[in-house]
Amino acid sequence: MKRFLLTILVAAAVMAVSGCARKSPGAELKPTAFGSALVESSGGKQIGLVGAALAQPLVVQVNDDQGAAVPGALVDFSGPAGITFDPAKAITDSSGQVTTNVALGGMAGRYELTATTFSKAHKIINLKLEEIALGYQQQLGQQLNERYCSRCHDPESTPERVSNYDNLEVKPHPFTEGEALNKLSDADLTAIISHGGPALNKFVLMPPYGLTLSKAEIQALISYIRLVSDPPYQVSQMVYGGK
């Protein structure tokens, strides 16, 4: 009887161990080199849709003390619940870089990602990156921004759209300009959008949109402005991990 129970126990243990082993495919990745710094090459600060893959992959580079690229170092990506990396773990290529495709989680907000590598002395080196996921409301705001605001508020011209920013004597705030815009409350922003610049003694060239946009549309626009502002508007917009 005892022997029978023992056999079952051993079998269960073997199965559990083998099951666990299959769950960690990255286990065979062994770094051949170690760096001392981690820098972003491209792919940070992107704006994507909730749950969807970002348009550009995230590329980070491992450097040594002299700032030269280190091939063969291990980089680990992590982030809040819901975010996925493909791959989540990789060895730097010949140019010292690791490329991963990021899909954001199901909640709208800012996602703080962390890329991690180890120095020779097993010291943890972290690089914090940020990506933005738009929910329904922020996406609507983004569309309204494209239609009504960006011609003046976005200084960048594109082949499809020449910016009017440089033509204005008092420069409008780009929506990423958190330092200026974060000081304005939601009520202030609503007033400026609805009644124009003069509503808050701002410049007359900002026209009123209160009769053009609905209340819900103005709210959507504000939620978009809040989400893309840099530095962030409120800590509560960060998406935290945990279950």
* Chain residues that interact with other proteins, rule: CB under 8 A: 1, 49-53, 55, 80, 101, 103, 105-108, 135-137, 139-140, 143, 147-148, 151-152, 159-162, 164, 167-168, 197, 203-212, 216, 219-220, 223, 236, 239-240, 242-243
> How many helices (DSSP H) and strands (DSSP E) are in the chain?
6, 9
By C-beta, is 13 or 21 nearer to other proteins? 21
By C-beta, is 54 or 98 nearer to other proteins? 54
Report in angstroms how near the CB of residue 155 gets to other proteins at its nearest. 13
Report in angstroms how near the CB of residue 118 gets to other proteins at its nearest. 29
By C-beta, is 126 or 157 nearer to other proteins? 157
DSSP H/E element including 48? strand 47-49
By C-beta, is 79 or 135 nearer to other proteins? 135
135 within 8 A of 107, measured Cβ to Cβ: yes
Long-range contacts of residues 109-113, Cβ cutoff 8 Å, at least 24 apart: 109/133, 109/227, 109/237, 109/238, 109/239, 110/227, 110/232, 110/237, 110/238, 110/239, 111/79, 111/80, 111/83, 111/239, 112/79, 112/80, 112/238, 113/58, 113/77, 113/78, 113/79, 113/83
Report in angstroms how near the CB of residue 209 gets to other proteins at its nearest. 5
Report in angstroms how near the CB of residue 158 gets to other proteins at its nearest. 10
By C-beta, is 80 or 232 nearer to other proteins? 80
Report in angstroms how near the CB of residue 108 gets to other proteins at its nearest. 6
**Token duo for residue 66:** 């002299």
